[in-house]
Every structure is written in structure tokens, then in C-alpha cells.
Amino acid sequence: MSSEAAGGTGSDAGRRRRLRRLADPRGVIAGIAIDHRDSLRVMVGQRGLTLATPELRTFKMVLAKVLAPLATAIMLDDELGSAALHEGTVPPSVGLIMPLEAQGYEAGGDGRTTTLLDQFSPVDALRFGADACKLLVPYRADDAPSSARQEALVIAAVAACHEAGLPLIVEPLVYRWSTESPAAYAEAYRRLVVSAAGRLQPLGADLLKVPFPVHDLAADPDAGPDACRALSEACRETPWVLLGAGTDTETFLDQVRLAGSAGASGFLVGRGIWGPALAEDPNEVERVARAVCRPAFERCRQAGELFARPLALASGG
């Protein structure tokens, strides 16, 4: 983790250096996201497993041990990722990203608003040796009250991170209204993703982590290039990476290719890669992580290396 961890630097140059630590030498990000909390517990319940907080910490530590050495960056939280951080399972060469949002991000409902962690700030992330913070933002550009609240929160988080010398990654999460049919949501999906990026981009984030802008690529394979170009234009000079959203590996490889060709600087992928390893026995977690998850992640990284736009080219810096 970063040698700059002992103190922040509020300069643009300092934040750019930290952002580059999330990427390979060319400037391409191939990140593994293991900062899940609510969604991880949902997965545990859906599979009928019994994993309390200590077991979840062990699960994350095993995943980090197996997958982090292959990544350029890793996303880990304080609550469930602390064992991985304290035990030194993340190689020093791998950039560390830590989330600022509190649990509750899996809650449904309309007009969602992000809540920040009570006892964890960018300064705390800096003490862990983090190179960046991340803020997940449920966002509907077509809802003025909730989008205004979310935009104000992003502005405040940007200011706090920059004061600590850390870049901020903003992750807009578009969602379906309770009164909206699945078909109507699918039809609006591209507009929602692109407008979220366009509305949040001017607020000062250093990197945008965004969904693939086609709701169902298999159903509409020709929509990918144009939608990704529109998303890249919405991000303007702010670099962006693709998030996984639990997508299967084969589909995600296509998404990485299309997004990278349109200007994405890589990806930050999570449960779509490590989901198969979720188990109660740590030995089984490690076995599956090595046999299944690591090769899948390696394929994603290779696709990113082939197609993604390096950070320096994306940001013009």
C-alpha cells in the first residue's frame, strides 16, 4: 500500500499519483472488489449458509490472499475486510480502495439516499494506507429531490477526500422504482446510466465506477458500442471504469471489450468473480478461489489490458 499513507497531500498531482497506484504500469485498472457487506450477507442468506461476522472476515481474507496478487487494485472495507488488511494479505504493489457508505445500500425503496459510515472517514482510510475512497450512490436523475441530496453528498465527500489527499471514486447505482415495470426500467436503463454519469461528473470525483449501459446485452448485442460511447462522452475528462454487477464472466468479458474500446480505463469487478467461492469452509473457499475465481479474473485482466484506455490518456494528464 501507498508510501504516502502517513500523510495526505491535497494537490492534484498527489491525487493523480494515488490514482495511478490503482492501475498497472500502463495505467489500466484491473481491480477486485471485496468491500461488500449488505450484498454479501444477502448472498449468504440466499445460499442457506451460516457465516457470522468472524467467518465473513476469514472469507474475505482468503479471497484477498488468492486474488489480490493478480489485481492492480483491491476494494476492502474496514468492518469485514479488517482481517485481510491487518494480516498483510494485500501485496504492497496493489492499490487499496476503501468505501465510505454505511450499510443499508441494499435496501429497496424509492428516492434512496446514501448514508456515510459514522466512525470511518477519509482520514481513517489514509491510516490504513488507502490510495482512494469509494462512495456508492443510488441515483435516479429523473427524481429531483433524491438526486439533489445525493449530489450534495458527493460534493461533501469529494471535499473530505481531497482535503485528506485521497482521490474519490463515485459509483452511481441506478435502480427501478417500485411502480416501474421491469420492461419500462429496461427501456430507460441506458438513459439512466448515462445521465447519472453526466450529472455526477462535474462534482469533482477523480474516477467514476459505472454500470454497463445496456440492460441486457444478450438481447440487444448491437447496442453496446453506441451506448458505451455515449457513456464515455458523459464522463468527459473524468476517467471511468466498469463495475461487474454480478455479471457472469463471459458476458463481463464482452462488456470489458466494448467499454474499453469506448474509453473505459479498466474495471472493478466483485461477486461475479468471487461468488463461486462463497462457502462455510475456508479450505473450500481457497480451493474454489484458486481453481475457478483466479482464472476468471485473469481473463478479465487480459481483456482490460487489450482494450482499456490508460488513465493518462483518459484524463489527459
- Res. 269: pLDDT tops 60: yes
On whether the CB atoms of residues 249 and 296 are closer than 8 A, the answer is: yes
Q: Give kind and range of the element (H or E) at residue 172.
A: strand 168-173
- What is the DSSP secondary structure assignment for residue 128, as one 8-state letter? T
Position 87 scores a pLDDT of 85
In this structure, what C-alpha cell is assigned to residue 307?
482494450
Position 7 scores a pLDDT of 41
Mean pLDDT on 205-223: 91
3-state helix, strand, coil in the chain (%, to 5): 50, 15, 35
- Res. 263: pLDDT tops 70: yes
In this structure, what C-alpha cell is assigned to residue 227?
451506448
Nearest to 273 by CA among 241, 251, 240: 251
Taking the domains of the chain in order of start, what are their residue ranges? 25-315
- Res. 2: pLDDT tops 60: no
Was domain 25-315 assigned CATH 3.20.20.70? yes
- Res. 207: pLDDT tops 50: yes
Position 317 scores a pLDDT of 52
**CA separation for the pair 285, 289 (Å, rounded):** 6
Residue 146: band (very low, low, confident or very high) from pLDDT cuts 50, 70, 90? very high
Position 107 scores a pLDDT of 60
Mean pLDDT on 244-270: 95
- Res. 196: pLDDT tops 80: yes
Residues 6+ apart with CB under 8 A from 162: 10, 15, 168, 204
Model confidence, pTM? 0.91
Per-residue model confidence as pLDDT tens digits over 11-58? 788 899 999 999 999 999 999 999 988 888 888 888 988 888 899 999
Per-residue model confidence as pLDDT tens digits over 35-44? 988 888 888 8
Residues 6+ apart with CB under 8 A from 153: 113, 114, 116, 135, 137
Residue 119: band (very low, low, confident or very high) from pLDDT cuts 50, 70, 90? confident
